[in-house]
Amino acid sequence: MPPVNGLREINTMLASHKHLAPTALSRALWVCVIVLFFIGGTEIVGSIAAQTRRRPRTTTRPKTQTSAPRGAPPKYSAFLHSSDKHKNLTCNECHKVPTSWTAKRDFPDVADFPDHDACVRCHRQQFFTRQAMIGTGPAICTVCHVRAAPREQARFAFGKPNNSAQQAKAKDERQFTIEFPHDKHQNVIAMWHGLQSVNTSLHHRLKSVPLDDKKPDYNNCSICHQTDMSLAIVALAAPNADPALLHPFKSMPRTHDSCFNCHWKNQKPAAADCAGCHKAAPTFIAELGRKRISAKFAHEGGKGEHIAECTTCHINITRVSTTRGLTPDVPLNACAACHRDSKKITYSKAVTIEAEIEQFNKTGECSYCHTPDVGKKKPPASHDAAVQ
């Protein structure tokens, strides 16, 4: 605290060197003024910077991330696309399209690590010199192989090379981001319809009526997004304990299959143009998935009535070229279209927003629609407004 220290200093000076008081006083005053001016200036600059600062990106980066080390001796067990040498290579100098696809996928794909040649042509020294053989063997082998041994066949999963020699990281960190312009894709596939929903068995069971093959299924989003059975919410109480309702979230494409439907060749960016979609990140980045804070919403549920069009609720998705920074874009009014008292006649068994608010007043938690992390908070004004 400079001002307080300054005062003490002045007092001490006054007490011990009275003959110097006039000069010391003016000096002390100047010190005070300069210190205060400095503090004030810092505040102003800080305030301006805060006002003009860009909104933070939603993609959070773990604190432990490191980019390609500069100056430090290279750790050949850790592969970084962003290293100075690697980033000057084109993707297909190492990744061949397709890899031996019939063994890995039922469609041509880049589904495996590059061949040895891709590494050896530059890193011969790291593979074959006597120094490389010291200890557990050439460290560079462990970029792909789980162990550095001549006959070692076991490898890490493609896309998740070894990063054990680097600082601790979440398992699903990646060295690339993926750009998928939803707006452009909606333009061309908006009218898309298949014969029936992708999740046929679930659809039939919940709707309890056979699908009409002539009726278009407008959920073109289902080309890429299907019910994600790996992501479950907390167990629902009976009678809603149907396992299908425990999985409200949709998956994202994890392979190139749905991309290559159109972008295998000719339509840019085509398969060989990896950088057309995969944008190299300067550092490792966290997994692509968004933080899931959704209500207990079952896309396939709703007594069959949730099988509506995706954009009816996700009102902003055809607007944006990137979902980065997009807030949850399902307005409560989308729920209120059915889940409100005045509509209850049509949906007699559906819980309404009014009923949820009433439950909150009694128990302090909205548990029908919300998971506890959200449900224990006071319902916002938007909930009242939506049912008025």
Partner 1 sequence: MASGRNKRGGLLKRILFLFSFFLLPFAFIFAFSFVAHTQSPESARGVVRLKIRYKSAEGTKDLPRKRFFLVPGSLEQNQPLIEKIKALNATSRECYYRSHGASEALIKWLKDNDCESVYCREVEDKYLSGAEAVPEFLKAFAQALGELKNREVARRWLANYLAPEIRSGFYDQKQKAIQSLVNDVETSTRKTVMSIMTDRKGTAYLTNIEPGTYMISNLAGSETEKTNILWICEREVKATDLGTAMKRPMILSNEKDPKLKCEVIERPLPVCNK
Residues in contact with partner 1 by the rule CB under 8 A: 3, 7, 10-11, 14, 18, 21, 25, 29, 32-33, 36-37, 39-40, 43-44, 47, 50-51, 106-108, 183, 186-195, 216, 218, 260-267, 309, 311-312, 315-316, 318-319, 329, 331, 333, 382, 385-386, 388
CB of 289 to partner 1, least distance (A): 24
CA distance 342 to 354: 10
Cis peptide leading into 243, omega within 30 of 0? no
Nearer to partner 1, 231 or 330 (CB): 330
For 177, list phi and psi in degrees, rounded to 5: -105, 160
Query: How far separated are the first and last CA of the chain, in Å rounded?
Result: 54
Rg for the chain (alpha carbons), in Å?
30
Nearer to partner 1, 37 or 128 (CB): 37
Q: Residue 358 region, left (φ>0) first, then alpha (ψ -120 to 50), else beta?
A: alpha
Q: What is the DSSP letter of 155?
A: B
Name which of 379, 354, 351, 380 is nearest 236 in CA terms: 351
Dihedral (CA of 318, 319, 321, 324) sign: negative
CB of 308 to partner 1, least distance (A): 9
CB of 63 to partner 1, least distance (A): 24
Nearer to partner 1, 14 or 374 (CB): 14
Q: What is the DSSP letter of 145?
A: B
Helix axes 2-16, 21-52, angle to 10 degrees: 180
Written as six digits, the tokens of 192 are 């898309």
Give me the residue label for tokens 């001016």: 37
Residue 281 to residues 87, 235, 360: CA-CA distances in angstroms? 11, 37, 44
Nearer to partner 1, 183 or 287 (CB): 183
Name which of 218, 234, 374 is nearest 307 in CA terms: 218
All residues at 6 or more sequence positions from 242 whose CB lies less than 8 Å from its CB, including other chains: 301
Nearer to partner 1, 94 or 317 (CB): 317
CB of 183 to partner 1, least distance (A): 7
CB of 328 to partner 1, least distance (A): 12
- Reduced to 3 states (helix: H, G, I; strand: E, B; else coil), residue 281 is strand
CB of 29 to partner 1, least distance (A): 7
Written as six digits, the tokens of 262 are 């159109």
Nearer to partner 1, 190 or 235 (CB): 190
CB of 152 to partner 1, least distance (A): 32
Nearer to partner 1, 67 or 261 (CB): 261
Nearer to partner 1, 103 or 154 (CB): 103
CB of 9 to partner 1, least distance (A): 12
Nearer to partner 1, 85 or 265 (CB): 265
CB of 315 to partner 1, least distance (A): 4
